[in-house]
């Protein structure tokens, strides 16, 4: 890993590459241990540094991944230069911090996010079955095959044995995905009350919000106190776009990818459900967002 340690006056003290080992980091910051913090880019390797800092009392800041674009200027670009630029940005407060998710909940959140690829694969398989019927000039099935009770005889609607085999493969994969998703969701539902029972039950009490929306909200937001206002919460779910303007003229939105991608769908879905179940939809949505 490349280290860029700065003095308070901006002097670069340690511009060098070290092995990514805890003892190397301890040795590099030993001369000024009590007066230095660690800032790391929000990549998949940040867990180890954040956990090391938590164990040893080292202040650790997490730089938002999209804010790393600010370090890519200049003719030369390598990890050493990037580390130095990131240290300068962090020291000057020009790098927005990301949320350091608690270590004890990361494994459960990662398991919950594994559900999304299964859902996408299931949707692709269902679409392939419908498209295959249309390519073979078969009449519409009339019933949704998303329901297992309506899948009987679907493959036999096509006379060609090869087409039948293709559809049977799709249906078998759909059945397998359904079992995996059900088992995964059931495990998370049983685990969630042990992590944060009260918010989980409150989320489920809202109109139209079931286990899926409640779990997405619970594990991808975690602590609502870090977003005290409803606009902050909506912005973190990518429901608010930043405006770009110069000399009083707007040139369109910006920051479309700033925020939690997993919470985007949950916010939209909850808004629709609240509007359907309550005439005072805006009030319900605001209450749901704040929870």
Cβ atoms of residues 281 and 274 within 8 Å: yes
| pLDDT score recorded for residue 209 | 74
Give me the domain span that covers residue 231. 205-291
229-280 pLDDT, tens per residue? Answer: 877 777 777 777 777 787 778 877 776 777 777 777 777 777 676 666 655 4
| 6 and 87, same domain (yes or no) | yes
% of the chain at pLDDT higher than 70 = 80
Confirm whether 200 is domain-assigned: no
| 115 and 190, same domain (yes or no) | yes
| pLDDT score recorded for residue 13 | 66
Higher pLDDT, 69 or 183: 183
pLDDT band for 282, please (50, 70, 90 cuts): very low
Number of domains in the chain: 3
101-114 pLDDT, tens per residue? Answer: 888 888 888 888 88
| 23 and 94, same domain (yes or no) | yes
Cβ atoms of residues 212 and 283 within 8 Å: no
Confirm whether 231 is domain-assigned: yes
Confirm whether 111 is domain-assigned: yes
- Give the separation between CA 81 and CA 87, rounded to whole angstroms: 10
| 44 and 62, same domain (yes or no) | yes
132 closest CA partner among 107, 98, 97, 168: 168
End position of a domain, from candidates 166, 195, 224: 195
Residue 36 clears pLDDT 80, i.e. is over it: no
pLDDT band for 134, please (50, 70, 90 cuts): confident
Residue 10 clears pLDDT 70, i.e. is over it: no
Confirm whether 179 is domain-assigned: yes
DSSP string, 104-140: HHHHHHHHHHTHHHHHHHHHHHHHHHHHHHHHTTPPP
Strands 38-41 and 60-63 turn out to be parallel
| 91 and 30, same domain (yes or no) | yes
| pLDDT score recorded for residue 200 | 75
End position of a domain, from candidates 195, 228, 247: 195
| 210 and 185, same domain (yes or no) | no
End position of a domain, from candidates 53, 71, 100: 100
| 122 and 96, same domain (yes or no) | no
Residue 285 clears pLDDT 60, i.e. is over it: no
| 57 and 134, same domain (yes or no) | no
| 6 and 74, same domain (yes or no) | yes
């Amino acid at each position: 890993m490349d280290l860029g340690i700065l003095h308070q006056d901006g002097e670069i003290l340690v511009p060098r590459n070290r092995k990514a080992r805890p003892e190397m980091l301890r040795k590099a910051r030993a001369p000024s241990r009590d007066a230095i913090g660690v800032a790391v880019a929000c990549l998949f390797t940040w867990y180890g540094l954040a956990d090391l800092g938590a164990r040893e009392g080292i202040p650790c800041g997490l730089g938002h991944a999209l804010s790393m674009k600010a370090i890519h200027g200049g003719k030369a670009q390598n990890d050493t230069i990037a580390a130095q630029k990131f240290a300068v940005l962090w020291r000057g407060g020009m790098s927005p911090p990301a949320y350091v998710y608690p270590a004890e909940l990361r494994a459960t959140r990662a398991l919950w996010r594994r559900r999304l690829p299964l859902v996408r694969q299931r949707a692709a398989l269902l679409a392939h079955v419908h498209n295959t019927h249309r390519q073979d000039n078969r009449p519409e099935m009339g019933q949704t095959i998303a329901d297992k009770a309506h899948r009987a005889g679907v493959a036999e609607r096509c006379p060609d044995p090869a087409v039948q085999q293709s559809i049977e493969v799709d249906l078998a994969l759909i059945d397998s995905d359904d079992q995996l998703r059900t088992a995964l969701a059931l495990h998370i539902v049983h685990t969630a009350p042990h992590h944060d029972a009260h918010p989980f039950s409150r989320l489920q009490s809202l109109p139209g919000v079931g286990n899926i929306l409640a779990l997405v909200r619970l594990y991808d937001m975690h602590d609502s106190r870090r977003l005290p206002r409803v606009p902050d919460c909506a912005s973190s779910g990518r429901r608010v776009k930043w405006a770009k303007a110069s000399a009083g003229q707007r040139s369109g939105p910006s920051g479309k990818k700033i925020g939690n991608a997993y919470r985007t769908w949950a916010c939209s879905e909850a808004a629709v459900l609240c509007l359907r179940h309550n005439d005072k939809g805006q009030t319900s949505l605001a209450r749901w967002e704040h929870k």
